[in-house]
Amino acid sequence: MKNNTNIDNQEDKIGKNFVFDENSCPVTATMKVLGGKWKPILINAIYLTAPARFGELKRSVKGITQSMLTQQLRELEDDGLISRKIYAEIPPRVEYTLTEFGLTLSPIMQAMAKWGEEYRINKQKA
């Protein structure tokens, strides 16, 4: 739960003048990569249907628009989570796959999925 790098500085124990800074929070960094409406779904979809084609994703991811799909795929690619393979064919074909690094998200996604389910149960009671 220690998500502030200042924590490493033993001089600066959690005292009255300790400061929590968003820029040094690695959880926030992860959220930026996984955040937004489509990222988790897309990662999951690509994981389960790899190699995933653009048109397939457009059909299978309910409600996503073409521009959103392109944009999100670019961001995932820039973050090194997915790889994009272009086939010089007519009609054009592009396939997306999770990279090795993208696969390292697996335990986090699983933990989040499990927690999310418990959260729903918890909310229904409240």
Partner DNA sequence: CAGTATCCCGTTAGATACTG
Partner DNA sequence: CAGTATCTAACGGGATACTG
Instruction: Work out how close the CB of 92 gets to its own copies at its nearest, in angstroms, rounded to a whole number.
Output: 20
Cβ pair 84, 73 in contact under 8 A: yes
Location of structure tokens 């299978």: 60
Interaction partner, residue 60 (its own copies, DNA, none; CB < 5-8 Å by kind): its own copies
Residue 53 in contact with residue 91, Cβ under 8 Å? Answer: no
Rounded to whole angstroms, how far apart are CA atoms 105 and 98? 10
Q: Which does 74 bind (CB under 5 to 8 A by kind): DNA, its own copies, none?
A: DNA
| Count of other CB atoms within 10 angstroms of residue 52 | 22
User: Which residues here bind its own copies, judged by CB under 8 A?
Assistant: 1-4, 7, 14, 16, 18-22, 25-31, 33-35, 37-38, 40-41, 43-45, 47-49, 56, 60-63, 79-80, 101, 104-120, 122-123, 126
